[in-house]
Structure 1
Amino acid sequence: MSGGIRVCHVLNALGDGGVQNLLLNMVERSESNVEHSISYLNELETSLEPAFRAKGVEVTDASPGGQFDPRAVGALARHVRKRDVDVLHAHLPWQQVVARLAGLVTDTAVVSTHHNLGDNSHPAVLAAERATRLLDAATAAVSETVAERHAGRWVGADDRWRVVHNGIDVPGFREEVRSRDGIEAGQKRATPDGGAESDSSAPTFLHVGRYIPGKSQRDLLHAMASVVEEAPGAHLYLVGWGDLEADLRAAADRLGIADNVSVTGYQSDVEDYYAAADAFVSSSLSEGFPITYIEAMAAELPVVSTAFGGAADIVADGETGFVVPTRDRAALADAMARLTDPEERAELGRAGYERAEELFDVARTEAEYREIYRECLDESATGAPPTPR
């Protein structure tokens, strides 16, 4: 590809996750002179590899021994040389370490993006990531909070950071959600199983995320129990996957709201649930920059969120939804109860869509990364050191 840029994204795995879907959207909007490929370090049972290949993206397994196999450095270096890769773009701490070392031995520019706060990463991995960070041509984070957390984790942190928000195809997602029930947002919707909502003042809430302690869905269930006291017809869909699935069903039963809560398990097609919902709600304790919030705003749903680090980057409190303290079940319930008014839901939802379209469309994300790639290659060609960000 003469005169173009060859970018290889280094991922943990090709599962159905936020980063992978972000890259699928970026590929669709990539300019013709930017060629993307994928190297992953961990194979999962659920894979998006066919989706990438359908878009003409080459996919390689860079570590047959598993994601923490040090031989991944050599495998990735061989891939870089074979495919004449210009930029390695790594998306999680261990993958950043591998990409930086492979970049060092092949003289390839490395861009690192931090997608979360690092709370679930092993301390040794975080230390290795920090120790190799100066090998980056550019270091990015998906939110100001993520940048501050990683840059400030050790004394002597540098300020060479870019903040590039994740994005989705905002108009496209809205149209896809609308097509599921064929009606405009704000009107009575159908439930995913084909039933009809009974009362527009009894809202349907949606939460999409893994069933793990960090999502704190039990706080959400307690808040929902309070909402149901005032709006008996309210319903909550917990869409996700994880080890706590049975525990969440049991908790809903103990709270007496089993009929008001659907713990759906994994769903490959979430648009039906966005179409059925009146509002999106999250009780997370820690997040980086959740794509599900952007999806909710694109679907014209108000967002009720706990005040984890990245929430303020996405939700405009009082304008597109409400932000409440973490672990405050009463405040979460109060915010949810405010959304029993259909007019207020519609107003917040419209404002959320406008904010998402302006700030979080994937076309903007792709353009910002494309500019970073070009800057890194320009610096490499001139021999100049990376410019402080």
Structure 2
Amino acid sequence: MHETPSAFLHFDPPLPGLVGGTILQGWLVGKPGHDYTDVRTVCGNAVFPGVHGNPRRDLAEFFKAPQPFLLAGFSITMTLPEGRHRLRFEALAITGRWEELGALDWNVNAAEARPDPEGLTPLNADAFGEALRVALRRLAQPSATIEETVRDVIAETPLRHHLQHPPRPFHGHLDQPRTWERSLFGRLPISGWIYHESQPIKRVLATVDLQAVQVLKLGRATEFLKERSGNSPLATHCGYDGFLDLPSQLPLPVTVRIYAELADGSWHLGSVARFTQTDHEFLKQAYGRFSPFTFWRTWRALSRKATSAGWHLPEGRGAVVRQVWQEYGEQAPRGHGPAPRRPVTGVPRPGIHLFTHNLNREGAPLFLLEYARQLRQQSAGPITVTSGAEGRLRQDFEQLGAKVQVVDATPLLRGRTAGQVRAQIGELARQVDLTGAGLVVANTLSAWWGVHLARAASVPSLFYIHESTSPNGFFRGLLPAPALAEVEETFRLADRVSFLTATTRHYYQALSDGSNYRLNPGWIEREAIEAFRRQHPRGMLRAELGVAPERRLVINVGSVCERKGQHVFARAVDLLWRRAPALAASADFLMVGGRNTTYDEDLAHFLAGLGRPNLRIVPENAGVYRYYGAADLFVCSSYEESFPRVVLEAMAFALPILSTNVHGIPEMARPDREALLVPPGDTAALAEGLHRLLAAPEPGRSLAASALARVGEFDLARVLPRHLALARELAPI
């Protein structure tokens, strides 16, 4: 056993492979505060990825670990020329950095110098198709060339996808992730199948970082295995599916591991695969302008580069290429950019018509409610609200004297062509009366159809955008390119389009000549929060919530969903427990905003597996100010935000803020001035931020004081006049 400042490790003597190559086996156990997710050996310019994470009961007993197994065993297959070689052993820290932990010399004989026949996993047809999609999307960048783009895609493709198939007596295959895979908000789709020849499998689990494993859903029917398994009853429902957390700090390619747990509680490492991925930001990118010639050249270049890299072109690729061609034809934009704008010149009328996608008590509809209150104070004209869904805010709007109407806008999403979408807009026009309206305000990208109704009725329109994503990303999988073009035209039709931040506006820059675009930040009613703080002393709120005086309260506020990244927050808290257990034990970590969704269920199961009793979910409730008033630290773990109300609220409650550095957040709370900002999805950086702000309160107090001073710039009394002035550019209100 070797000991380094950060780990204990052991190398078995290298062994010759069964069909060539050299195999290095051993184990690696990080010391407290040092977590390792992967291993490799490096010899000169050659890099050999390892299979790391074999369950070892003996090591758990030796190191007195609380869990029955340590995922510490590794195996690395290397193909080296004959002769003596110096091998560097490197481990990937959970922070995303490779660290050299040891070295050894090895003499390779002629038999071992034979290449491993499985050293280069052939690209399958699906992976080839996904690589083609990636190349075509990257070509939308003005400076991109086909040859350079295809070269980069091939260079980023793991040379070996399947590092290990389940060893006998297990049988199985990891179908997803493919060599190239898509993740969404740090969540990776997983699917495959596995069975044991003689014993039932109790659970299937997976991990990419070895920090924590996640249970997958086991039991999908696998009738196709009936004959292959010799009619084994254990193979009839052995499919598994689920989602796996993918921390953003891990460098590509990433390794995923599948474990099978038997009835006796033993764990067994099954499939191990490496993959590279495209994330939610990449998926927001549209294809470049439709060009059959560009498609053909990209496909041919990809085939040539793959062949020159040593891959055999996969069977069945023709069908996949045709599928990508069909998708490209449906989604790639046509035409030559937005046409010149034609402003509406309507007849002045006193009414104001507001459009919203729903009436839920959440960010964007609440924005519209406060906007309506200000309109009511400024104008005696009638206010009408048309919503695409019912919700609890109906009563609030009606208390303002507004007429509320709910219509079904979902048929718009069933349109496949521009003509079909326009026909559905015409149907909505027969349901929505705009004859008394002098101004239409459509709130959020989901209410885009309100602008089209306004244009048809010759009513000026104001379009508010809250989403930091493109229409292509927002409606991905819902609208093909011809129908999506109608959504994109909204940005030319609207007389004014108001963005909350410059970062958000960037996603929509190409959809208009920009003459109708404006920037206006969101707001907060600071006086209401100050009144709440005066009426509800901190000690009283902490007593109501059951928070002891000596404990720190850390809150993560927002609807529990993938985009808000609560899974990242949970992993960061777990890392804090590993690095500074006494500090982690002194705090309570609450995620306020739980709902009844599949993601909520997955998150609850994950928290149960972590076993951190002071980390929990609080259901969504109207009394969220109580948590701000009682808290010591506010954390935002979102992947995507434009101008989040929760950050403004934390600033107004004078809380230290730890947040992801996404979209409009640094325009609200500036880095190291009003907040500590970290990259989105980076669990290690978020854990380090928690450690910094909990271990030394003074920097947090300084950030909080600056945030409280800055939030005045976003006070309702200061910001709303700008929004009303924007409306007055279009109508006399």
Moved over 6 A (4+): none
TM-superposed CA distance for 1:25, in Å, is 2.5
Partner amino acid, structure 1, of 2:379 = N
Q: SS state of the match for residue 113, structure 1?
A: strand
Maintained 8 Å contact 2:363/2:645: yes
Which of 548, 551, 559 pairs up with 1:197? Answer: 548
Change in Cα spacing, 1:25 to 1:262, as seen in structure 2 (3 Å) is: same
| CA root-mean-square deviation | 2.5
In the other structure, the counterpart of 1:387 is none
Which of 350, 367, 388 pairs up with 2:705? Answer: 350
Moved more, 22-31 or 362-371: 22-31
In the other structure, the counterpart of 2:388 is 42
Distance in 1, matches of 2:548 and 2:711, equals 27
Partner amino acid, structure 1, of 2:693 = L
Q: SS state of the match for residue 730, structure 2?
A: helix
In the other structure, the counterpart of 1:17 is 362
Which of 477, 484, 497 pairs up with 1:139? Answer: 497
1:179 aligns with 2:179: no
TM-superposed CA distance for 1:11, in Å, is 0.3
Which of 75, 82, 85 pairs up with 2:437? Answer: 85
Maintained 8 Å contact 2:439/2:461: yes
Q: SS state of the match for residue 642, structure 2?
A: coil
Partner amino acid, structure 1, of 2:707 = G
Distance in 1, matches of 2:349 and 2:629, equals 40
Maintained 8 Å contact 1:9/1:90: yes
Change in Cα spacing, 1:286 to 1:32, as seen in structure 2 (3 Å) is: closer
In the other structure, the counterpart of 1:160 is 516
1:243-302, Cα deviation, whole Å (9 max, x unpaired): 322222222232231x21120122122111111211211111111211111111111112
In the other structure, the counterpart of 1:232 is 585
Moved more, 281-290 or 3-12: 3-12
Distance in 1, matches of 2:698 and 2:621, equals 30
In the other structure, the counterpart of 2:405 is 60
In the other structure, the counterpart of 1:72 is 428
Matches within 5 A, 1:269-280: 269-280=623-634
TM-superposed CA distance for 1:338, in Å, is 2.0
Maintained 8 Å contact 2:445/2:467: no
Unaligned runs of 5+ in 2: 1-347, 413-423
Structure with greater contact order relative to length (CA < 8 Å, sep ≥ 6): 1
Q: TM-score, normalised on structure 1?
A: 0.84
Could you tell me the percent identity over the aligned residues? Answer: 21
Change in Cα spacing, 1:216 to 1:86, as seen in structure 2 (3 Å) is: same
Matches within 5 A, 1:1-389: 6-30=351-375, 31-33=377-379, 35=381, 37-44=383-390, 46-61=391-406, 63-64=407-408, 66=410, 68=412, 70=425, 71-76=427-432, 78=433, 80-81=434-435, 84-96=436-448, 98-118=449-469, 121-123=474-476, 124=479, 126-152=484-510, 158-180=514-536, 182-183=537-538, 190-191=541-542, 193-199=544-550, 202-228=551-577, 229=581, 230-240=583-593, 241=595, 242-257=597-612, 259-340=613-694, 341-358=696-713, 360-377=714-731
- Higher share of residues assigned strand: 2
Q: SS state of the match for residue 88, structure 1?
A: strand
Distance in 2, matches of 1:149 and 1:287, equals 13
TM-superposed CA distance for 1:57, in Å, is 2.6
Unaligned runs of 5+ in 1: 379-389
Q: TM-score, normalised on structure 2?
A: 0.46
- Higher share of residues assigned helix: 1
Q: SS state of the match for residue 300, structure 1?
A: coil
Maintained 8 Å contact 1:13/1:43: yes
TM-superposed CA distance for 1:35, in Å, is 4.4
Distance in 1, matches of 2:728 and 2:716, equals 18
Maintained 8 Å contact 2:541/2:626: no
Change in Cα spacing, 1:159 to 1:205, as seen in structure 2 (3 Å) is: farther
Distance in 1, matches of 2:603 and 2:533, equals 27
Moved more, 365-374 or 139-148: 365-374
Q: SS state of the match for residue 677, structure 2?
A: strand
Distance in 2, matches of 1:297 and 1:289, equals 13
Q: How many residues align?
A: 358
Structure of larger gyration radius? 2
1:98-146, Cα deviation, whole Å (9 max, x unpaired): 2222222321100001111236621437532222322211111111111
TM-superposed CA distance for 1:4, in Å, is 8.4
In the other structure, the counterpart of 2:142 is none
Q: SS state of the match for residue 244, structure 1?
A: helix
